Amino acid sequence: MVEDKYASRRFDIQPEDAIDVAVLETIPFDYPGSATEVVYETEEFTFVCPWTGLPDFARLVIRYLPYRSLVELKSLKYYLTSYRNVGILQEHAVNRILQDLVELLQPVSMVVEAEYKERGGMKTKAVARYEKEAE
């Protein structure tokens, strides 16, 4: 029987509660109803696999129609950086970001999209969407 020399190799993996939602801040959006689309992009979004601790890297795009608030960019950068050692699945990461930002901003609509770097010959793209219900 061949011993799996990787079975005991693990990196420090933080739980999801290490995601720093409290760092997020808003600034007023002075043009509600204007259909202004805001797009933030980064090639540097990273977190780790919850099973192996190995890193995942993605191009992340956050696209939204603001209602009354915008996310303050420095706070968004710190928020996204807080994922660095968090063990979370690729598909869950986009949904968690969407959930946190919708709760913070209450936008008209939002899409969070991540294109993950290829691993094991397979590329992954995950997209999470939100539409505000008509009042």
What's the CA gap between 118 and 7, in Å, rounded?
23
Question: Considering the entire predicted model, what is its pTM?
Answer: 0.91
> pLDDT at position 12, please?
80
| Chain Cα centroid distance, residue 110 | 12
Those residues with Cβ within 8 angstroms of residue 45's Cβ, 6 or more apart along the chain or in another chain: 57, 58, 59, 60, 80, 83, 114
Task: Tell me the catalytic residues.
Answer: 49, 56
Torsions phi, psi for 133 (to 5 deg): -70, 145
Q: For 79-127, write each residue's pLDDT tens digit.
A: 999 999 999 999 999 999 999 999 999 999 999 999 999 988 899 999 9
Architecture category of domain 28-124 in CATH: 2-Layer Sandwich (3.30)
